[in-house]
């Protein structure tokens, strides 16, 4: 009897670990609200943020759609043609829990720099389809479609910039290792993580105070079952090792959500022309807000060197 009771301990631990892993997976990947509010740490910028939102609502725009052939899911994006006709277009990827509207500040910045703007809602966010958030790995498929939509709309002489923040930064960095059309000229990754596994392990330790094992492999197996890939597949640094396009990395020096060392990992992973700007005192996704004009100047300097 006593021996039978002892055997139940590892079973209980295993079941408990699986249930915790399932809960973390659900919390991380379930669909996000269509219209998220600014996070508490960004409330100091709320007045400026809603000024950009007002600009976004007022500017003439179009709604674009693509349909993913394998899943038959519909993705949605906003296209803002620049008032001055141009072949330059930036595709802007938003962060975890956001949507295309939350990138209005970056859209206005690039609009002022003379770009057309394409702002998708990513899988599991906003008005796009998707039961789960894929943290960039499956979003690559959708962004390949968006790139083709831009080329078809603006012509084969289009010049495309990929830009993203946080999860969006990881999306465009992951795309860098794919076979991309020649029209894609450069990439800007603001505070993207070095891999989904790195980010998961960091959150397990710092948010949940849990060890990597057994939770890392369990969550990875759940992800494989639900989304079709293991966490270890979704490596930003591996994708960057195949990158050949100029890329600009931006990261806050005080980022405790996607820690700054991941920005350095990404920077060192690619051998293409590259620049890194670590922004003093900036927390996660705060680099723009600390000094919008300085941010714009740094972006424009990179574009002058590698895009125009």
- Every domain of the chain and the residues it spans: 47-195+234-306
Q: How many residues does the chain have?
A: 308
Answer for the pair 240, 211: CB distance below 8 angstroms, yes or no: no
pLDDT at 86: 98
Answer for the pair 283, 190: CB distance below 8 angstroms, yes or no: no
**pLDDT surpassing 90 at residue 244:** yes
Neighbouring residues of 154: CB distance < 8 A, sequence distance ≥ 6: 87, 89, 116
Where are the extended beta strands (E) located within 136-235? 159-165, 184-190
Q: Tell me the C-alpha distance between 69 and 131, whole Å.
A: 16
Q: Tell me the C-alpha distance between 171 and 163, whole Å.
A: 9
Answer for the pair 78, 63: CB distance below 8 angstroms, yes or no: yes
Answer for the pair 302, 188: CB distance below 8 angstroms, yes or no: yes
Q: Tell me the C-alpha distance between 268 and 158, whole Å.
A: 29
Here the tokens at position 277 are: 């700007």
pLDDT digits (tens, 9 = 90+) for 186-242: 999 999 999 999 999 999 999 888 888 888 999 999 999 999 999 999 999 999 999
Query: Please, which pLDDT band fits residue 38 given cuts at 50, 70 and 90?
Result: low
**pLDDT surpassing 70 at residue 279:** yes
Neighbouring residues of 127: CB distance < 8 A, sequence distance ≥ 6: 34, 76, 99, 121
pLDDT at 1: 46
pTM for this structure? Answer: 0.94
- Tokens 């990138």: give the residue: 103
Residues of the chain with pLDDT > 70, as a percent, come to 92
Work out whether the CA dihedral 79, 141, 132, 242 comes out positive or negative.
negative
Q: Which CATH entry fits the domain spanning 47-195+234-306: 1.20.58.1030, 3.30.70.20, 3.40.50.1820, 3.20.19.10?
A: 3.40.50.1820
Q: Please indicate whether residue 7 or residue 48 has the higher confidence score (pLDDT).
A: 48
Q: Tell me the C-alpha distance between 189 and 202, whole Å.
A: 20
Going by C-alpha positions, the residue among 62, 120, 69 that lies closest to residue 90 is 120
Distance, C-alpha 129 to centroid of its chain: 17
Answer for the pair 272, 246: CB distance below 8 angstroms, yes or no: yes
- Mean pLDDT over each residue of the chain, to the nearest integer: 92
Here the tokens at position 71 are: 């899943």
Answer for the pair 101, 35: CB distance below 8 angstroms, yes or no: yes
């Amino acid at each position: 009897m006593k021996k039978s009771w002892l055997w139940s301990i590892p079973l209980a631990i295993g079941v408990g670990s699986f249930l915790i892993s399932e809960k973390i997976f659900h919390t991380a990947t379930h669909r996000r609200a269509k219209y998220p509010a600014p996070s508490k740490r960004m409330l100091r910028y709320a007045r400026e943020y809603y000024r950009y939102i007002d600009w976004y609502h007022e500017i003439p725009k179009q709604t674009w759609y693509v349909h993913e052939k394998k899943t038959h899911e519909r993705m949605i994006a906003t296209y803002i043609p620049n008032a001055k006709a141009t072949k330059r277009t930036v595709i802007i990827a938003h962060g975890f829990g956001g949507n295309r509207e939350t990138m209005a500040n970056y859209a206005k910045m690039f609009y002022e720099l003379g770009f057309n703007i394409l702002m998708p809602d990513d899988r599991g966010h906003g008005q796009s389809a998707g039961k789960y958030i894929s943290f960039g790995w499956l979003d690559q498929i959708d962004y390949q479609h968006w790139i083709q939509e831009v080329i078809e709309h603006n012509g084969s002489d289009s010049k495309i910039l990929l830009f993203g923040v946080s999860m969006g930064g990881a999306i465009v960095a992951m795309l860098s290792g794919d076979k991309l059309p020649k029209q894609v000229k450069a990439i800007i990754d603001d505070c993207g993580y070095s891999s989904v596994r790195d980010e998961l392990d960091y959150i397990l330790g710092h948010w949940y105070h849990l060890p990597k094992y057994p939770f890392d492999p369990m969550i990875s197996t759940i992800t494989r079952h639900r989304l079709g890939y293991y966490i270890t597949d979704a490596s930003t640094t591996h994708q960057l090792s195949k990158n050949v396009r100029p890329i600009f990395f931006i990261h806050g020096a005080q980022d405790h959500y996607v820690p700054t060392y991941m920005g350095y990992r990404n920077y060192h992973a690619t051998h293409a022309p590259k620049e890194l700007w670590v922004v003093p005192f900036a927390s996660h996704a705060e680099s723009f807000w600390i000094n919008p004009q300085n941010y714009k100047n740094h972006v424009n300097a990179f574009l002058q060197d590698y895009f125009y």
